[in-house]
Amino acid sequence: MKRILITGGAGFVGSHLSERLLNEGNEVICLDNYFTGSKKNIEHLMDHHYFELVRHDVTQPFMIEVDEIYNMACPASPVHYQYNPIKTIKTSVMGAINMLGLAKRVKAKILQASTSEVYGDPAVHPQPESYWGNVNPIGLRSCYDEGKRCAETLFMDYHLQNEVDVKIIRIFNTYGPNMNPNDGRVVSNFIVQALKGEDITMFGDGSQTRSFQYVDDLVEGTIRMMNSRNGFTGPVNIGNPVEFTMMELASKVIELTHSTSKIIHLPLPQDDPLQRKPVIDLAKKELNGWEPKIHLEEGLVKTIGYFDNLLKENQ
Ligand code: NAD
Ligand code: UDP
């Protein structure tokens, strides 16, 4: 049994990770300030003997004896991370410093949830880990992109200078149950709009692409990365390489929800990447053949079921 700290544990990804690590027989301490996460995501874990919940902000130091740290705390949707950009970059940078300091002190292994956003609006397609990215340092997305880039730098520097055992994953667009319905990300927006019969808000002409990964595939890749061979730090891409345009996604959601919603076009936000797709050769090689198993349609059906129940509960 390991004692594991998950920052951002009450969020979308953190809640799935908490459940899986508890089910595998570990002790899980979930730390969250509830900015975008919610107790509802983890309420089914509350009675578990080996689960603990701590309200804390990662921009402040935190001391605890643990074996492993998954650093997931950070708002992930553009709407939320742009709400208070200074707080967003502090969460990534000071959160990384505080958690790395803790890892150094208690000799814990530590994994950073980085992002495909470190590639910015990529000039190389698809994106291998060796690509350095094309990021605007002073735009609306910079608080998130540059915060995550700086966190990667800190992780590698603590590794090289202080021999902290670090692991970095670059997560590509992920979706599934426990996403915040007001989160503003495309999958949750389109599903909620389709279920309510509201207009589907397509930003731009909808030809921009993303590659969508179901959350269970991400959790599997994340845990494999934490358990990867000694000295393997990454960064490693964790994403689904099957690429879709936003128009294709909207059509699929309308079809699966049998919705009468129609698509309306709104302006494309500043610095919105035109395309994104991971190269996952490194993950396959280093993480025991890891690759996504859940196809978009299967994952969408599960996610639609989740939002359908949520909307009925809130009626
Ligand atoms: P989320 O917003 O659902 O979860 C983030 C969690 O962190 C929330 O529970 C929030 O309350 C908490 N948090 C935010 N600021 C905090 C702070 N200062 N102190 C303590 N807790 C704080 O987002 P998610 O989709 O679950 O993302 C989890 C991690 O994965 C994030 O670091 C995100 O950048 C990364 N990521 C996610 C995706 C994706 O598609 N979901 C893609 C790339 C990277
Ligand atoms: N998008 C959209 N309508 C929405 C929300 C998002 O067309 O209601 C688009 C957005 O402009 C982007 C893509 O969907 O091109 C993915 O957006 P999301 O915010 O989910 O993730 P990110 O841009 O961070 O990859």
Q: Model confidence over 128-159: pLDDT tens digits?
A: 999 999 999 999 999 999 999 999 999 999 99
Cβ(202) – ligand 2 distance below 6 Å: yes
The pLDDT score that the predictor gives to residue 118 is 97
Does ligand 1 have an atom closer than 6 angstroms to the CB of 96?
no
Ligand 2 neighbourhood includes 80 CB (under 6 angstroms): no
Q: Is the pLDDT reported for residue 315 higher than 80? A: no
Query: How much is the pLDDT for 294?
Result: 97
Q: What is the pLDDT of residue 87?
A: 98
186 lines ligand 2 (CB under 6 A): yes
Contact between 141 and 268 (Cβ < 8 Å): no
Q: Quick one: pLDDT band at residue 185, thresholds 50, 70, 90?
A: very high
**Distances 137 to 140, 141, 146, 212 between C-alpha atoms, Å:** 9, 8, 7, 26
Nearest CA to ligand 1 atom 1: 11
Please report which ligand is nearest the Cα atom of 176.
1
Our answer on whether the CB atom of 57 is closer than 6 Å to any ligand 1 atom is yes
Kindly report the average pLDDT of the chain as a whole number. 96
Ligand 1 near 12 CB (within 6 A): yes
Tell me, what's the pLDDT at 125?
92
| 87 CA closest ligand 1 atom index | 18
Element (H, E) at 6: strand 3-7
Q: What is the mean pLDDT of residues 250-273?
A: 95
- HEC string of 228-267 equals CCCCCCCCEEECCCCEEEHHHHHHHHHHHHCCCCCEEEEC
Q: Average the pLDDT over 42-55 and give the result.
A: 96
Query: Closest ligand 2 atom, CA of 190?
Result: 8
209-220 average pLDDT score: 96
pLDDT over threshold 90, residue 8: yes
What local confidence, expressed as pLDDT, does residue 271 receive?
84
**pLDDT tens for residues 66-82?**
999 999 999 999 999 99
pLDDT above 70 coverage of the chain, percent:
100
Please name every residue paired with 120 in a beta bridge, in sequence order, or none if there are none: 134
**Mean pLDDT, residues 89-98:** 98
Q: According to the model, what pLDDT value does residue 273 have?
A: 87
> Mean pLDDT across the stretch 209-237?
97
pLDDT tier at 233, thresholds 50, 70, 90: very high
Atom of ligand 2 nearest to the CA of 185: 20
pLDDT bin (cut points 50, 70, 90) of residue 60 is: very high
Q: What is the pLDDT of residue 71?
A: 98
Q: Which atom of ligand 2 is nearest to the CA of 206?
A: 7
What is the 260 CA–ligand 1 centroid distance (Å)?
Answer: 32
What value of ipTM does the predicted structure carry? 0.97
Catalytic residue numbers read 144
Q: What is the CA(198)–ligand 2 centre distance, in A?
A: 17
Q: Determine whether the shortest distance from the Cβ of 210 to ligand 2 is under 6 A.
A: yes
The angle, 0 to 180 degrees and rounded to 10, between the axes of the packed helices 246-257 and 186-196 is 40
**Helices within 48-185 (DSSP H only):** 78-81, 85-106, 142-162
* 139 alpha carbon – ligand 1 mean position (Å): 20
- For residue 78, give the ligand 2 atom closest to its CA: 19
Mean pLDDT calculated for residue range 280-294: 98
**pLDDT over 90 (residue 270):** no
Going from the Cα of 215 to the center of ligand 1, the distance in angstroms, rounded, reads: 13
pLDDT of amino acid 314: 83
Cα gap 256→98, rounded to integer Å: 44
Ligand 1 centre distance from Cα of residue 258 (Å)? 31
Closest-approaching ligand to the CA atom of 211: 2
What pLDDT does 183 receive?
Answer: 87
141 vs 34: CA distance, rounded Å: 22
